[in-house]
A and B are shown apart, each in its own frame.
Chain A
Amino acid sequence: MMNKHDVLQAIRELHARGELSRSEVLHALEGKHGSHGGRGFKITDVLYFLGGIIVLSGITVFIGQHWEELNSLTRVLVTFGSGVAAYAVGLTFLQRTEYRFLSGTFFFLSALLIPTGIAVALHEWGNSSDIVFAEVIISFLSLLTYAASYAVFKKHYFLTFSIIFATWFFFALTNWMTADNPVFNGETFMEYRVLVTGLSYMLLGYSFRNNSLSSFTRPLYTIGALGFLMAAFALGGFDRDTFTLWEFMFPALCFGFIFLSTMVRSNEFLFAGSFFLMVDIFKITSDYFTDSFGWPLSLILCGIALIVIGFVTLRVQKKYIRD
């Protein structure tokens, strides 16, 4: 019989030889204790959500056909009212063990209908010309609703909605603060905000990696890394006559992501870093070398660089990440 020390030593050795990954240990622990409460993503879940979307489409088409005949109160009732009803049904199902699996679908419907309902109410009774401020109100109220729901029920889908509405609130609020103000360059400001959001997502994903929210880590890493690098790439600009600091830093950022992927054992960072490094090589080649080398030689060099990046990416994945 092995004691605790022996078991841990054996795990360390297997891990060092690359025969056992961190996530396999975590999954084994989850299976044994069932402490995570999260279950695998099943095809039935997809069908429930597809069903929800089809129901919503039906409601949308039906309401759309009769929209002009409805007065303001009815318009708000069929949108906001439906959202509240969907939330209430979800809540009812959540209380009953045998129907709990259906609650997520109804909360999903409510997350679409409640913001739409608030928007319709503001449109009917508020100042519809101030769209930017309307979005601040809609996103804030939706965030409040679903963040409070998460605090009470601790369900993952409430956290998903909260992250989505918090992101929307951030963009809506900063839009409203800078609305129409020409001191802020709209395009650059948007790129910086996407960069910040990407960074925030990656940090959230990292903080969730070892707790019951670990299922959020990979999606947050993926969206965060793609958003961050896409924004940094766009900040570099597309004008071939100007060389910006972001353009200069971008390859280092890509290598940074590849290095980071080995530290946090993330395929998402590795592939995002490698993909954008390839994109940057194409951009730099077409901007600076096609005139001197000519297109055929540039393409050959690009191709070789892509093969090397692809090869190194797979080697890094095999050696350091291998989930």
Chain B
Amino acid sequence: MRFKEQLPLIIGISIPIIVTVAVGLSIWIPTLYAPKPVYDFIYSVNDGYTFDQQYVVQDEHLTKRVVPIPPKDVYPPIYTPILYYYNAETDSSKQISFEDAKNYRLNAGVISPDGFEVVMGNQDGGIFPIFFGGMNDYQSRYLRGHGAAYRVNLALSSQDYYSFRLLGWVLDQE
């Protein structure tokens, strides 16, 4: 009888605890079964508002396209996008030249051949006002797929988080 009377209290306290455990499991379990991302990718960081060239993938190879800037739209300094190579095995990025990058055969799809896509983080900044200065980690990117997400180390600073551009998944090198 006493247990029956206390049942609503027990359930009321247990529900948030069960949800918290379920959230933990839903993060942890997919990482046990989901495959690790294996495809490297090449990306560019524009590093400014005005840039004079663009990189695009044509026929599975990186090409450079010059962007003519009308004089009235020029807001110096003019930046040249920087190319980076992300290595999935070592989870690291290194800067590469256009000459090196065009030697790779690339898949320009949003989703990699092994089913991952690069997405931004989803951080809630919290509610306590004193930490407003450091609340958002804009430069974080994830490889998401198969119910799991892996944080990736990209060469992005808080200034150029918005200018990240995935160019292509590396299929092989020629």
Contacts and interface: CB of A to CB of B under 8 A. Distances in A.
B154 to A, nearest CB: 14
Given A174-B23, A179-B123, A200-B13, A129 B134 contact: yes
| 3 A-B pairs with least C-beta separation | A203-B12, A180-B121, A131-B131
Interface of A: 116, 119-120, 123, 128-132, 134-135, 138, 166, 168, 170-175, 177-186, 190, 192-193, 196-197, 199-204, 206-208
A259 B144 CA distance: 44
Given A182-B119, A204-B8, 18 more contacts: A123-B130, A128-B133, A132-B126, A135-B126, A170-B16, A170-B20, A174-B20, A174-B23, A180-B123, A180-B142, A183-B26, A184-B23, A196-B16, A196-B19, A201-B12, A203-B15, A207-B5, A207-B8
Nearest to B6: A207
19 contacts: A128-B131, A128-B134, A130-B134, A131-B126, A132-B124, A134-B128, A172-B126, A174-B23, A177-B27, A178-B27, A181-B27, A181-B142, A182-B120, A183-B147, A196-B16, A200-B12, A200-B16, A202-B12, A203-B11
Nearest to A183: B149
Contacts, number: 116
Nearest to A172: B126
Given A173-B20, A174-B19, A180 B131 contact: no
Interface of B: 5-6, 8-9, 11-13, 15-16, 19-20, 23-24, 26-27, 30, 119-128, 130-131, 133-135, 137, 140, 142, 144, 147-149, 151
Contacts of B24: 177
Contacts of A173: 20
Contact of A181 (B6, B122, B130): B122
A123 B131 contact: yes
A182 B126 contact: no
A119 B130 contact: yes
A202 B120 CA distance: 36
A191 to B, nearest CB: 13
Nearest to A119: B130
Q: Is the interface of A mostly helix, strand, loop or mixed?
A: helix
Contacts of B134: 128-131
Contacts of A180: 121-123, 137, 140, 142, 151
Given A131-B134, A180-B140, A190 B6 contact: no
Contacts of B16: 166, 170, 196-197, 200
A208 to B, nearest CB: 8
Nearest to B142: A182
Contact of B12 (A132, A177, A183, A204): A204
Nearest to B16: A170
B8 A179 contact: no
B34 to A, nearest CB: 10
B15 A184 contact: no
Given A173-B20, A183-B144, A200-B16, A190 B9 contact: no
B164 to A, nearest CB: 14
Nearest to A175: B124
Nearest to B145: A183
A198 to B, nearest CB: 10
A174 B15 CA distance: 13
Contacts of B13: 200, 204
A317 B147 CA distance: 48
Contacts of A202: 12
Given A170-B20, A193-B19, A206-B8, A182 B131 contact: no
B9 A207 contact: yes
B43 to A, nearest CB: 17
